[in-house]
Structure 1
Amino acid sequence: MEFAELDPRLKQELQRLSDETEIEDRFYRHLEFGTGGLRGVIGAGTNRMNVYTVRRATEGLARYLLKYVDHAREKGVVIAYDSRRMSPEFAAEAAGVLTQNGIRAYLFEELRPTPMLSFAVRHLQAAAGIVITASHNPPEYNGYKVYGEDGGQIPPQTADRILSEINAVENELLIPALTIEEAMAKGLLQWLGEEIDREYTNRLLSLSLHPETVKQVADDFRIVFTPLHGTGNKPVRRALKELGFQHVHVVKEQELPDPDFSTVSSPNPEERQAFELALQLAKQIDADIVIGTDPDADRVGVVTRTADGEYVALNGNQTGALLLQYLLEQRKATGKLPANGVVLKTIVTSELGRAIASAYNVTTVDVLTGFKFIGEKINEYETTGEYSFLLGYEESYGYLIGDFVRDKDAVQTAMMCCEMAAFYKTKGSALHDVLQQIYNTHGYYVEDLSSFTFKGKQGLEKINRMMDEMRRQPLTAIGNLAVKQSKDYLPGIDGLPKANVLKYILEDDSWVAIRPSGTEPKIKFYFSAIDKTREAAEAKLQMLKSFVLDLVNQRAV
């Protein structure tokens, strides 16, 4: 607080602090920079998101680019931001630090989805990209994600190099930054808008497998869409309109950007509550499909109808299975399924995708949790030609079909889900019916996720202690099922980088995985049960959950 030029709002916030535990949490470390960049609560302190932590990260990124990326100044960095508090301000600060270092900044003129940032980096052949977002975190959070030249999230080795440069910054309070006006006067800042939007939309439309089907059902196919107060509103509606859908009904209460996400307890399409208003509208208009995108529009949730007219939310694994079935089935039917096709999924994503892909002689490759690893594999196969990319997805509602983007893309997924639903409608089926057909063919795969949040320094210590305990006393059975294979990804196995993940594969190929979150103070437990009937699979799932969570409660003390 002795720094004379300290941001007045942050200074007032610090002056109000009296709780020693909160003061410690704000200052016991610098907000951690990892492969997901920064993410934290907005506020004063080194362990918070504010103009100084953003300047510090950007100064480190600038030094990294000037040291390791050829022609970084001329190539420049693309910057996008979402609808959260301070997002435009943080984006401007990042542009100011980059241009102070002589690096060109491309700044979107208003909020844009994360996948459009990825696209723009590739389209402009920029040196890097930054997106200011905290995805679907609560309103008090914001974040800062870095993308490489390929448009993908930075891999661990790049993050380590950037972190090294960040740690070399002596005092974040003294980092110089140009104003937007100064950067423009120097010719170092360029605004992005309609030109990028048009190029991106054209690429989206090129993904369509059955544009004629959309036109065929356009008169009576009804879509309900909610952007959940985020960035998806304009790009999703534009893509759906240009593909030919005529009846797209947007949830008015959630249409416009709102940093408080005032109509939901969490702006997360993984949670049923986020769809309450959308479902009310769907019932009013008799909608065929309901879709919702998270604030930075990289994740999408889908609700479909059953045969008796009820609306059922699909989980991330189910949407992935449906997309995969549609893409492979229709590409094969039209002679466009490559002989060396590959599907990429994470180690905590359902094995149902592998079963579907195998039926079409398509290879499935597993990667660690985090879409950056899917992006890395796409880049690798593009270089080697070993495989042709078909679909990348993860259980947490992230999907990628067209590799002109190198991160999960809710805009292209929303468009393809609507096309898929329209196509199956012409065959007399809803997505729920198609999913049942998939289960009847491959068996019932049911999954669930349980998360525990432990806040602050003590919470992080508790999570670490829990993982250590699980490693010291590995499980040999879970309930009445023996452990067939115990996988610890910490040393680096299966050709994957090191990861703090434990996975138990059981005798019937059901499995349980345990993973601390890399961006939130959470530890996550993933469950997958397989059986011949839904009832048997769900009973097995409950058994797995009860056993493991009882064990966790004992060890979390």
Structure 2
Amino acid sequence: MTILENYHQWLQDFANDPETVRELEAIRNDEKELEDRFYTDLSFGTAGMRGVLGAGTNRMNKYNVRRATKGLAGYLLENPENAKRGVVIAYDSRRCSAEFAKDTALVLCAEGVPAFLFDALRPVPVLSYAVRHLNAAAGVVITASHNPPQYNGYKVYGEDGAQVGPEAAEGITRIIRATKYTDCVLMDEKKALDNGLLKMIGNKEVDDDYIAQIKTLSINPELLRSEGSKLHIVYTPLHGSGNVPVRRLLKEIGLTNVAVVKEQEMPDPNFSTIKVPNPEDPGAYEMAFKLAAEVDANVIFATDPDCDRLGVAVKDGKGEWHLLSGNQIGCVLLHYILSSKKKAGTLPKDGAAVKSIVTTSLANKICESFGISIFETLTGFKFIGEKIQQFMDKGDHTFLFGFEESYGFLSSTFVRDKDGVNASLLVSEVACACMAEGITFYDRIQQIFKEYGYYVNNVVSTTLPGKDGLARIKEIMGGLRAQPPKEIAGLKITAVRDYLKGTRTENGREEPTGLPVSDVLYFELEGGNWVCVRPSGTEPKIKLYVNSNAPEKAEAESINAALCEAAKAMMA
């Protein structure tokens, strides 16, 4: 159908929904807005759906949620016995999250698929744990992670607790496309409860077991006992779902000096104290820094709304604060896990770490020094989750740690997505280990750089919204494939990885990348530097990842700055 046909179809289909009709009537003469809302369907991929809230086929709304859920139910019912295991549903603090979660549950019930619905906010890692803990067939979490307030999203998880992979996403999409919006019905809530199809999950069914399992991830519990009283933490949940589980975990491991940013403690769908609820954004820490000065804190934690990511700020020896990058946090945790296990004689010979291709190469150097294998995946923590399952199925490696540069960390196998609660435990323990040595957390990072070389990583994002933006992103990627550069900022390109073709080309010779197909280009440069270009899977952005290294900080930063400028020019 054309844009206008789609528009009028919605006015007809949802004529009994006054709020939707009002919103659509208000844009009747706005051609640009009509085009953006109706030129396509909100895409459903391996990250599920994510988009701006509003009426339209290309917006997050209850009708797209119901249609996606009917698609999920249809996919699960291709194996009816499996579908009987049900679907676990969680949600965060965003606008419409609770409503979307209930609609998800009641559509599933109408299709005959049991639904386990959490009774209040829960983080992504708790949902991931619950799918496995309850032996469910799938999971759904309503969240848009760290996006601005006008966004919401719908993530689907498989029975292994990881986000669904490409094959499952394609199967769900196939059914969604064959489904009319008007075919999606809700079961009456009381009827669903009475029939046993809808089951509410309270405080005890999952949370206690999850927290107990997280506590087993401590490497040196005695450090928490001996040094914990000296550790002063400021924590901000950024109005999200981390408030309860992070604080509970810290309390139960004996860390009582935890000050919470009161203004950001409670759920707030408008995230009114911050521009974006993103722990990567320095602006998100303004209130935390103020509180840290009042209580003389050593470390600051910030979790995003669905608490799958953790941001950290630490003091140096002069009392100045440093907001750590995801790469820095990940490498400190990786080094701590490996060095502690080696010292204790518990480092397994088949140990393995996993990171995404756009995560720092410093992790490779660290693993190499400990004789530990490191595996690389495409961006998206679902691929790290898949790798964990492969290790367990084959029995060839013991998973030790996985991370992404975008503040996602995991050291467990009972959760299959990044876990801000897990990360809070590990960072706390590293901070205690540093205090026991008489150094700061910041000092530890400098020690690692001194040993392995200085690594600098930057991400440059360009937002290109709407239909025109999508076309421009495709044009940029197509141009780079048709005429790949020979050098960037004077550094020779030694190999090109084209993940869409599935090839790595070096000196005219092609070999397979061994990873799934994805619209990503990765330019390997001399000296172990690299630049990666990829469209975002969840936002209208094209992203440049720039990695440089050198023995000294100034040289690594100079190389990175030059690469960033040259790479941005490639996008023009």
The TM-score, its normalising length taken from structure 2, stands at 0.95
Alpha-carbon shift at residue 174 of structure 1 (Å) = 3.4
Instruction: Return 353-362 or 7-16, whichever deviates more.
Output: 7-16
8 Å contact from structure 2 (residues 231, 431) kept in 1 = no
Alpha-carbon shift at residue 182 of structure 1 (Å) = 2.1
Q: How does 1:259-408 map to 2 (within 5 A)?
A: 259-408=269-418
The correspondence for 1:177, drawn from 186, 208, 211, is 186
8 Å contact from structure 1 (residues 229, 295) kept in 2 = yes
Q: Given residue 532 of structure 1, which amino acid in structure 2 is its aligned partner? A: P
- Residue 547 of structure 1: aligned partner: 566
8 Å contact from structure 2 (residues 497, 513) kept in 1 = no
Query: Secondary structure at 1:508's aligned position in 2?
Result: helix
8 Å contact from structure 1 (residues 131, 144) kept in 2 = yes
The correspondence for 1:122, drawn from 113, 128, 132, is 132
Q: Given residue 534 of structure 2, which amino acid in structure 1 is its aligned partner? A: R
Query: Secondary structure at 2:35's aligned position in 1?
Result: helix
The correspondence for 1:51, drawn from 59, 62, 66, is 62
Q: Given residue 64 of structure 1, which amino acid in structure 2 is its aligned partner? A: Y
1:40-86 deviation digits (Å, cap 9, x = unpaired)? 1111011111111001000010000010463312x110000000000
Aligned-pair Cα RMSD in Å: 1.0
8 Å contact from structure 2 (residues 125, 415) kept in 1 = yes
Alpha-carbon shift at residue 420 of structure 1 (Å) = 1.1
Between the aligned partners of 1:376 and 1:470, the Cα distance in structure 2 is 30
1:497-555 deviation digits (Å, cap 9, x = unpaired)? 111111111111101000001111000000011101000000111111111112322xx
Query: Secondary structure at 1:112's aligned position in 2?
Result: coil
Between the aligned partners of 1:257 and 1:226, the Cα distance in structure 2 is 11
1:275-306 deviation digits (Å, cap 9, x = unpaired)? 11111111221111101000000011010111
Q: Given residue 305 of structure 2, which amino acid in structure 1 is its aligned partner? A: P
The correspondence for 2:528, drawn from 498, 505, 509, is 509
Alpha-carbon shift at residue 393 of structure 1 (Å) = 0.5
Distance 1:369 1:69, change over 3 A: farther
- Residue 84 of structure 1: aligned partner: 94
Between the aligned partners of 1:133 and 1:6, the Cα distance in structure 2 is 27
Between the aligned partners of 1:174 and 1:128, the Cα distance in structure 2 is 22
Pair 1:189-2:189 in alignment: no
Between the aligned partners of 2:146 and 2:14, the Cα distance in structure 1 is 35
Query: Secondary structure at 1:447's aligned position in 2?
Result: strand
1:90-137 deviation digits (Å, cap 9, x = unpaired)? 000000110001111000000100110000000000000000000001
Between the aligned partners of 1:32 and 1:284, the Cα distance in structure 2 is 46
Between the aligned partners of 1:380 and 1:3, the Cα distance in structure 2 is 45
Query: Secondary structure at 2:267's aligned position in 1?
Result: coil
- Residue 466 of structure 2: aligned partner: 456
Query: Secondary structure at 2:255's aligned position in 1?
Result: coil
- Residue 481 of structure 1: aligned partner: 491
- Residue 33 of structure 1: aligned partner: 44
Between the aligned partners of 1:241 and 1:180, the Cα distance in structure 2 is 37
- Residue 211 of structure 1: aligned partner: 221
Between the aligned partners of 2:342 and 2:491, the Cα distance in structure 1 is 38
- Residue 496 of structure 1: aligned partner: 515
Alpha-carbon shift at residue 3 of structure 1 (Å) = 3.1
8 Å contact from structure 1 (residues 479, 547) kept in 2 = yes
Q: Given residue 319 of structure 1, which amino acid in structure 2 is its aligned partner? A: I
Query: Secondary structure at 1:499's aligned position in 2?
Result: coil
- Residue 241 of structure 2: aligned partner: 231
Any stretches of 5+ residues in structure 1 without a counterpart?
none
Between the aligned partners of 1:446 and 1:71, the Cα distance in structure 2 is 47
Between the aligned partners of 2:482 and 2:37, the Cα distance in structure 1 is 33
Q: How does 1:128-143 map to 2 (within 5 A)?
A: 128-143=138-153
Between the aligned partners of 1:472 and 1:137, the Cα distance in structure 2 is 33
- Residue 71 of structure 1: aligned partner: 82
8 Å contact from structure 1 (residues 95, 180) kept in 2 = no
Between the aligned partners of 2:228 and 2:140, the Cα distance in structure 1 is 38
Between the aligned partners of 2:488 and 2:330, the Cα distance in structure 1 is 27
Between the aligned partners of 1:218 and 1:356, the Cα distance in structure 2 is 27
1:224-243 deviation digits (Å, cap 9, x = unpaired)? 00000000000000000000
Q: Given residue 524 of structure 1, which amino acid in structure 2 is its aligned partner? A: K
The correspondence for 1:468, drawn from 464, 467, 478, is 478
Q: Given residue 407 of structure 1, which amino acid in structure 2 is its aligned partner? A: D
8 Å contact from structure 1 (residues 82, 295) kept in 2 = yes
8 Å contact from structure 1 (residues 69, 127) kept in 2 = no
8 Å contact from structure 1 (residues 40, 141) kept in 2 = yes
Query: Secondary structure at 1:429's aligned position in 2?
Result: coil
8 Å contact from structure 1 (residues 6, 173) kept in 2 = no
Any stretches of 5+ residues in structure 2 without a counterpart?
1-10, 503-511
8 Å contact from structure 2 (residues 91, 122) kept in 1 = yes
The TM-score, its normalising length taken from structure 1, stands at 0.98
1:158-183 deviation digits (Å, cap 9, x = unpaired)? 100111111111x2133111132221
1:25-46 deviation digits (Å, cap 9, x = unpaired)? 1111111000000101111011
Alpha-carbon shift at residue 424 of structure 1 (Å) = 1.3
Alpha-carbon shift at residue 431 of structure 1 (Å) = 1.2
Between the aligned partners of 1:6 and 1:413, the Cα distance in structure 2 is 47
Pair 1:523-2:511 in alignment: no
Between the aligned partners of 1:6 and 1:161, the Cα distance in structure 2 is 32
Alpha-carbon shift at residue 23 of structure 1 (Å) = 0.7
Distance 1:69 1:209, change over 3 A: farther
Instruction: Return 226-235 or 214-223, whichever deviates more.
Output: 214-223
Between the aligned partners of 2:163 and 2:570, the Cα distance in structure 1 is 35
Alpha-carbon shift at residue 220 of structure 1 (Å) = 2.6
Query: Secondary structure at 1:225's aligned position in 2?
Result: strand
